[in-house]
């Protein structure tokens, strides 16, 4: 798990211009939060619809159900962090191929997300990035020079 690489090995980071649609077997869906309220449930519902469209749901077995629930939890955590630490999220992008689903949440914040160290499981709060780190294959932050904010991304493995 890494917060130092801007994107995972072999990946080019977020698609320029927030492209949506499919390219080279990758399916992409984007959601803008412009003027929206209740962004965490909105993001979860959007992600759930994408998981249905991509065949992750309905889940045939416990492993597939757990993989879908992990995606929804990561979406919730990244959007919540943008609400708490970055004046709210600007957008959510989900992309999926046969092996990996990528969650990207953009915001205007300047902070650097990181799991709290040491992690204190018995205390309320401060678990978001620890959860993301534990559930994901990899995650990181992409910043664009001379543009306010960042995109926090996380990748999860597709169900078997």
Give pLDDT, residue 124.
Answer: 63
pTM over 0.75: yes
pLDDT tens digit at each of 160 positions of the chain: 334 444 444 454 444 444 344 456 889 999 999 999 999 999 999 999 999 999 889 988 899 899 999 999 999 999 999 999 998 999 999 999 988 999 999 999 988 887 766 656 666 666 789 899 999 999 999 998 888 899 999 999 987 6
Give pLDDT, residue 101.
Answer: 96
Give pLDDT, residue 114.
Answer: 73
Give pLDDT, residue 3.
Answer: 42
SS3 readout for the chain: CCCCCCCCCCCCCCCHHHCCEEECCEEEEEEECCCCCCHHHHHHHHHHHHHHHCCCCCCCCHHHHHHHHHHHHHHHHHHHHHHHHCCCEEEEEEEECCCEEEEEEEECCCCCCCCCCCCCCCCCCCCHHHHHHHHCCEEEEECCCCCCCEEEEEEEECCC
């Amino acid at each position: 798990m890494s917060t130092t690489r801007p994107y995972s090995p072999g990946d080019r980071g977020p698609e320029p211009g927030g492209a949506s649609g499919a390219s080279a077997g990758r399916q992409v869906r984007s959601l803008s939060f412009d003027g929206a309220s209740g962004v965490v449930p909105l993001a979860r519902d959007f992600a759930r619809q994408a998981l249905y469209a991509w065949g992750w749901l309905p889940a045939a077995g416990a492993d597939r159900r757990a993989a879908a629930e992990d995606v929804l939890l990561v979406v919730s955590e990244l959007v919540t962090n943008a609400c708490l630490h970055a004046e709210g999220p600007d957008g959510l992008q989900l992309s999926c191929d046969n092996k990996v689903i990528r969650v990207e949440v953009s915001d205007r914040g300047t902070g650097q997300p990181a799991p709290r160290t040491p992690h204190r499981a018995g205390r309320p709060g401060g678990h978001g990035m620890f959860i993301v780190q534990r559930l994901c294959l990899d995650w990181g932050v992409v910043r664009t020079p001379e543009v306010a904010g960042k995109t926090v991304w996380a990748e999860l493995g597709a169900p078997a």
